[in-house]
Each structure stands twice: as structure tokens, then as C-alpha cells.
Chain A
Amino acid sequence: MAAITINNTPLTVPDNISILAAAKLAGVRIPTLCFLEGLDAIGACRICVVEVEGAKNLVASCSVPVTDGMKIKTNSGRVREARRTVMELLLSEHDGDCQTCERNEDCELQKIASDLGIKSVRYEGQKTAAHLDTSTPGIVRNNGKCIKCRRCVAVCNITQRVGALFPQARGFKTVIGPAFDSDLAGVTCVQCGQCAAVCPVGAIVEQSHVQRVWDALENPKKTVVVQTAPAVRAALGECFGFEPGTLVTGKMVSALRRLGFATVFDTNFTADLTIIEEGTELLTRLKTAILDKEPVALPQFTSCSPGWIKFVEHFYPELIPNLSTCKSPQQMFGALAKTYWAQKVGKKPEEIFVVSVMPCTAKKFEAQRPEMNDSGAQDVDAVLTTRELGRMIKQAGIDFAALPDDNFDRVMGVSSGAGDIFANTGGVMEAALRTAYEIVTGRPLPFDKLHVEPIAGLEGIKEAQLTITGTVPEWSFLENVTLSVAVSHGLGNAEKVIERITTGKASYHFVEIMTCPGGCIGGGGQPRLTDDAKRKQRIKAIYKEDENKKLRKSHDNPKIKQVYGEFLKIPLGEKSHHLLHTTYTVRERV
């Protein structure tokens, strides 16, 4: 332990933590722009400088560890003046228009400038050259607003191991972006949006579908139906000042109705459907391998997360046969809404406009994949991020906090708790096990509250083994088989799992991969800035939503039974094959 003083207050803190971390423990806030929890502090922005007694220069508190006896001042005149200078220099280059910026009121640069009491900028000079990159379906980059903090570089290269963004050129001409002067479409990008989720300013944002949705809502020829992803309900409240982890399911449904959506459905419904299809697919693969002793691609990887899918297509095309052929819940929903539900309400696919609300930017990419047209029209027409829905609610003048709770519409709005937990890392696996185990043994999954503890939580890679006994006759070949599963989140961790598999260090039957840290609750379209504390709170909320439901298992959902009875007939059947399953594309790696 180190005995230090911060602003003359003595305290004892663990050795070698940064001054920034020590200050946090002491309840002292130090502004940061480049710092990101869990990644190496690079000290690029200099806004976190503090004074250390005996040190000649001010130090960057994010990257200097405390030492015993250290005397730190975070609020001296010298510190205030230095921070003000740093901020004014940043502002002198920043080509920002706060009032018209997508990030207005959600901008860390704006917030810190305000906290520092900046009323004027003493430096006049050239602005950063502006270039608007709209080349990809999910992400928009605006170089002029970039303050070169390099958070996006860290998440893209280290957390996600994609490497689309890197500092280009040098000095004043430095651009944080794709190779040389190409646009994002010119390099490999999985559209996960983690760059947009960490960008402190408006330099990286999502491609907005807000106007597209307003236009559809005003179009009398369109029947507009909306689906909401499981993770949205645990985060949307943050757009309106609610504590992270506040469940706002009922208010969200109310808000959507007031925005003008005639029908409010739930992606959770098709999450349940995914479990039936993907679970059956897994059991079929196991049967092929164990009973028929024929070659089949194992482990099976989950396919709900479109960033992960694109990652495999670019970097590991040899693993495409291992990906579940199931479409993601978003796309299953679109395909069913424009066929099954369209028939129920007497509409043609092209008369229905499907809007998704997703915690995700990669879903915008997924929705426009050319193969996602199985209903005869584009299955999902517009994808809003959680942040965009928050903005629409504000634009409509809806007082979110005052909204009453409302319920999803029937049929495609009914879901089990297993659908909810698709929102977080470990959730899809747990939901699949709840169903698969019960199909095979006739008994519920033998875990407290049905939660598979070893695969829950924020550990990067989690593994579990489950020995199956007491099988029903149809699945007796699985008797005494130990099912081995793995769960990971963040593509850097996914890469490690793949390495374990390809080097023979591990062997699994089923692997869940979610693109974003924490799973969808930490998605690139969620209210920002997400840290592990917020991830945990959102996950807690999702488990609460799950536990509060009478239905906990996908196969118990009566509406899933109904959709099979009325329309799909059997899992992996002909209709399913056509509408709910898909193919993947080998993509170049750049």
C-alpha cells in the first residue's frame, strides 16, 4: 500500500495504481479524454495532468503510478491553467458545430470544456481538415471533429483485433482512420461500432436511420412494425438520466406507440425461435458426429452477432461451416413479420416496414446484406440504435420519465426469459442449454434459477462442462456424453478461443461469441460511455427481467408453438430453411 496525499487529504491506496485511479478512490474527479478502462493508458490528450510535489513538470495522471509518500495536487492554479491551455488548443483545431452535432449534449469534449469554465479560445489557427466518410452501412466518420485521442484505435486494434483504424500521416496532418486516405469501406471493418461507442466527440457515429423511420411512420401506404432487441430495455433509460441498469421495458413500449408505431413487437420472440432452431441444429450436428459417426463441423458457433459473422468471413473463412446457419433474431423477425404476420393482417411483404431497435451498429450492415430478402422484400427496412431511439423520443417531445408502462403486442411480442438473456455474454448459451438439456433429458437444466454460473460474468473467455445423464430414448446416444461449451465476448477474446480450438488446446461442442465486450448490453449502439460497472448493472437488470417472467425457457413459449403450428411446421423444416436460415460469404482480408 502507498500512503499519499491528494489535495492535502491523506489516504492509503494500493501500490502501483495510477494517480487517476487513486483520485477516483478519493472521490476526486480528474477529467480524461483518451483514457479507457482496461486498456493501456497512453497519455495522449494531456487533459488529466496533475501536480506532483518534487516533479519538475505536470504529469499525466492516467499513466503515472502512485508511489509511497507522493503528494498530489489536482486543483492548483498551475493545473487549472494547464488543463485550460490543453482544452483551448484542442478546441482551436476541433471543427465542431455543437448545436448541429449528432453528439450535442453527449460529448465529453463539450462537457469538460464546460466544467473547466472555458469561455473563449485564445488560439486561432487552422482547423483539422474535415472529411465525411459515409462509405459503410453502419458507421459515419467525420475527421474534422476528431481530437486524435486514439480510443477508437485501441478498441479496434486491441479489444476487437480488427485493425480498421490507425493513425495515418503525422503531425498536424495526422488522421485517425483507415489506410492512407481510404474510406472505411476500403479496409476490413466489422461495423461493430465500438469506435463510435468510445469516441469522446462526434467524430465517429452511427449511420442514422431516424429520418427513414419518420418518413415510414408518415407514409399511409406502409404498415410500420417495430421490434426491440433484448439489450435495449436495460439501457434506453440512460438516455433520459435513469441509473444504468434501470429496466424501462414498459415505458419503451409506451414511447414507441406514441412515436406512431401501430404494432410493437419484441426481438425476444425470435430470440426464443432462434433457440429452437439453433438448439435443434446443434443436436442434429451432435447426432451426425456421435451416432452416425459422419464428419460434421464442430464446435457450432452462435450466429446472432453480425460483427462476429463478418469477422469470421474476413479473418477465418475456414470456420464458416462451424457457424450456425440460423439468421440472427433481428433477421428472423424481419422474415417472419413480412410473411407469417403479413398474411395474418392481410398485407403484402412490401407493404410492411420493419424497424428494429438495436444496441448495435453492425445490425445496420446485417439488415442490408443481399441475402436478407427471403420474404420477397428487404426483411428489415431500418435499424435504429438505442441512442437513435432516445433521440427520436426527445424529438417527439415525449416525457419519457412520465410514461406509463405498456405491453408488447401479441404473437410476436411474447417471449420467455431465455429471450431476454440474449442481451449479455453467456446468455445465448444459457438459453440454448435450458432448452437442449430439457429436450434430451426431459428434466430442467440442473442449475440454481436456471443460471449457468460458470459462463456468466465479464471474464473474457468462460468454459463449462455438463455431463448428460438420464436421457430420453430418442437422445440416448448422448447418455454420459460430457457437453463442452465456451463463451467469449470481444473479438480479441474470440480470436483466443479460435486459437485454443485450432491448436487442439481445447475442444468444444458449442461456442457462443458476442462481438462487443459484455455482449449486446455493451453494444456499439448503446448509450455511452459504457464501462464494466455499467455492463454489470445492465446484465443484472436483464437477469431480473428473465427471473420475473413466468416463462423461462424458449420451448415453453406458447406463441413459438403457435408459429410452428400455423406456419413453420417443424424446426429446420422447409419453411425454416427458407426464412430463418442463411449462408455466409468469404470476404477479403485487408
Chain B
Amino acid sequence: MPETTTCACGGTVTEEQMSKQLDAVLAEYKSKPGALIPVLQTAQTMFGYLPDPVVRKIARELDKSYSEVAGVVGFYSFFSRYPRGAYLVRVCLGTACYVRGGNEVLSAMKKALGIDIGQTTPDRVFSLDIGRCFGACGLAPVIMVNQDVHQRVKPAKVGDILALYRAKSKEEIHK
């Protein structure tokens, strides 16, 4: 177990800090039925991803097996076991987006970022994932960058979109 873990924001938190933050969440949900997914979601938002010690702790505290919790973490693409970039780019490959060129957008994105699905750029700015319908089929093809929706994306425009966020991330660092 590593003593320190890198958070999505690029900073580091110790395992002890992580554990404390998690305790509060677990205390809130522990006695409620169906607690697992909300706890995982909250933990994912807190840490940016679900480090292994966190998954194990959640399993223990909610009286579930590690294998079961791992199964849930692995099932939903929303959950990640590895640190993600500051911006999560999700390219929709739902039916509507797919027929309107979602796959080409994905290829362009992979090329522009130099990473594959599920990976993070070395500078920790971007992570790439695919989505299965964001409910915006009329705007297909769609990508989401964190909470922002970009509509009718053309493969050639992928670079412009990324530049926007790259600039933003530089601002963040300067702040």
C-alpha cells in the first residue's frame, strides 16, 4: 500500500487523510440499504478515482466482499481505479452518435491526445473514455468534457475543443 496517493487535482493526500474523509461518508450511508453505489460515487468525486485501499475499505465497512464491490466498480464506466486527468473526455458511442460519426470523433480524439480509451495523458490534464448515450441524440455526435456537452462535433474540430481546456488548466495552475 503506498503511503501517499495522488489525487486528481495533482496534489497529494495521505492515506490517513483519505481514510478520514471516507469515514464521514460511510457513517452517513452505512445503515442505509443500497448504500454501495452512492458511497462509491462520493468517493470517486472526493478522490477523483477509486484507489484500491478505498475500495477495500468500502467493502469492509459495508459488509460486502471485495470481489462484489470490485464487480460494481468494474461494471460502471463512471468509476475509475486509476487517477484521471483534470478533464474527462467522454465520446458518445450510443446508436445516434455512432451512426453520425462518433467513432471518427473518437479516433481523432485518441490521435490528438495520444492515448487510448481508459488512459490519461502524462501531464494529467485529460482522460479519455467512451459513453453510451448522454440523452442528447438530437445533437449527435456528442462529447462531454467533465460536465460540458459539446454538440455536433467534427473530427477536425477536436483539437480546438481540447485547446480550450488546456488553456483553462494552465490558468488553474497559475492561480
Contact across chains for A167 and B66 when beta carbons are under 8 A apart? no
Known contacts being A589-B60, A590-B56, is A187 close to B71, with CB within 8 Å? no
Contact across chains for B70 and A164 when beta carbons are under 8 A apart? no
Contact across chains for A167 and B71 when beta carbons are under 8 A apart? yes
State in angstroms the CA–CA spacing of A157 and B68 once bound together: 9
Q: Does B157 contact A (CB under 8 A)?
A: no
Could you tell me the distance in whole angstroms from the C-beta of A189 to the nearest C-beta in chain B?
Answer: 9
State in angstroms the CA–CA spacing of A167 and B64 once bound together: 14
Contact across chains for B65 and A170 when beta carbons are under 8 A apart? no
Contact across chains for B74 and A590 when beta carbons are under 8 A apart? no
State in angstroms the CA–CA spacing of A340 and B65 once bound together: 44
Contact across chains for B75 and A170 when beta carbons are under 8 A apart? yes
Known contacts being A169-B75, A590-B56, is A180 close to B70, with CB within 8 Å? yes
Chain A residues whose C-beta falls within 8 Å of the C-beta of B71 in the assembled complex: 166-168, 179
Q: Does A162 contact B (CB under 8 A)?
A: yes
Known contacts being A166-B70, A168-B70, A180-B81, is A187 close to B75, with CB within 8 Å? no
Q: Does B67 contact A (CB under 8 A)?
A: yes
State in angstroms the CA–CA spacing of A589 and B59 once bound together: 10
Known contacts being A169-B74, A170-B74, A170-B75, is A179 close to B67, with CB within 8 Å? yes
Contact across chains for A163 and B67 when beta carbons are under 8 A apart? yes
Chain A residues whose C-beta falls within 8 Å of the C-beta of B73 in the assembled complex: 180
Known contacts being A589-B60, A590-B56, is A157 close to B65, with CB within 8 Å? yes
Contact across chains for B65 and A188 when beta carbons are under 8 A apart? yes
A161-179 to B contact mask, C-beta < 8 Å, 1/0: 0111111111000000111
State in angstroms the CA–CA spacing of A178 and B64 once bound together: 13
Chain B residues whose C-beta falls within 8 Å of the C-beta of A163 in the assembled complex: 64-68
Could you tell me the distance in whole angstroms from the C-beta of A123 to the nearest C-beta in chain B?
Answer: 22
Q: Chain A's interface: helix, strand, loop or mixed, by majority?
A: loop
Could you tell me the distance in whole angstroms from the C-beta of B14 to the nearest C-beta in chain A?
Answer: 22
Q: Categorize the interface residue count of chain B.
A: 10 to 19
Chain A residues whose C-beta falls within 8 Å of the C-beta of B60 in the assembled complex: 589
Most buried by A among B71, B75, B81: B71
Contact across chains for B74 and A164 when beta carbons are under 8 A apart? no
Least CB separation from B65: chain A residue: A163
B32-65 to A contact mask, C-beta < 8 Å, 1/0: 0000000000000000000000011000100011
- List residues of A (126-145) whose CB comes within 8 Å of B's CBs: none
Contact across chains for B67 and A178 when beta carbons are under 8 A apart? yes
Contact across chains for B74 and A162 when beta carbons are under 8 A apart? no
Contact across chains for B81 and A166 when beta carbons are under 8 A apart? no
State in angstroms the CA–CA spacing of A168 and B69 once bound together: 9
Chain B residues whose C-beta falls within 8 Å of the C-beta of A187 in the assembled complex: 65-67
State in angstroms the CA–CA spacing of A476 and B69 once bound together: 54
Contact across chains for B74 and A168 when beta carbons are under 8 A apart? yes
State in angstroms the CA–CA spacing of A170 and B78 once bound together: 13
Contact across chains for B68 and A166 when beta carbons are under 8 A apart? yes
State in angstroms the CA–CA spacing of A179 and B70 once bound together: 5
Most buried by A among B65, B74, B81: B65
State in angstroms the CA–CA spacing of A590 and B67 once bound together: 8
A145-158 to B contact mask, C-beta < 8 Å, 1/0: 00000000000010
State in angstroms the CA–CA spacing of A179 and B75 once bound together: 12
Known contacts being A180-B81, A590-B56, is A164 close to B67, with CB within 8 Å? yes
Chain B residues whose C-beta falls within 8 Å of the C-beta of A178 in the assembled complex: 67, 70
Chain B residues whose C-beta falls within 8 Å of the C-beta of A165 in the assembled complex: 67
B73-94 to A contact mask, C-beta < 8 Å, 1/0: 1110000010000000000000
Chain A residues whose C-beta falls within 8 Å of the C-beta of B67 in the assembled complex: 163-166, 168, 177-179, 187
Least CB separation from A171: chain B residue: B75
Could you tell me the distance in whole angstroms from the C-beta of A589 to the nearest C-beta in chain B?
Answer: 7
Chain B residues whose C-beta falls within 8 Å of the C-beta of A157 in the assembled complex: 65, 68
Chain B residues whose C-beta falls within 8 Å of the C-beta of A179 in the assembled complex: 55, 65-67, 69-71
9 examples of A-B residue contacts, CB within 8 angstroms: A163-B65, A163-B68, A166-B65, A168-B70, A168-B71, A170-B74, A179-B69, A179-B70, A180-B81
Given contacts A168-B71, A179-B65, 6 further A-B contacts (CB under 8 A): A165-B67, A167-B75, A168-B74, A169-B75, A188-B65, A590-B65
Binding site for A on B (CB under 8 A): 55-56, 60, 64-71, 73-75, 81
Question: Which A-B residue pairs are the 5 nearest by beta carbons?
Answer: A163-B65, A179-B70, A166-B71, A166-B67, A179-B67
Binding site for B on A (CB under 8 A): 157, 162-170, 177-180, 187-188, 589-590
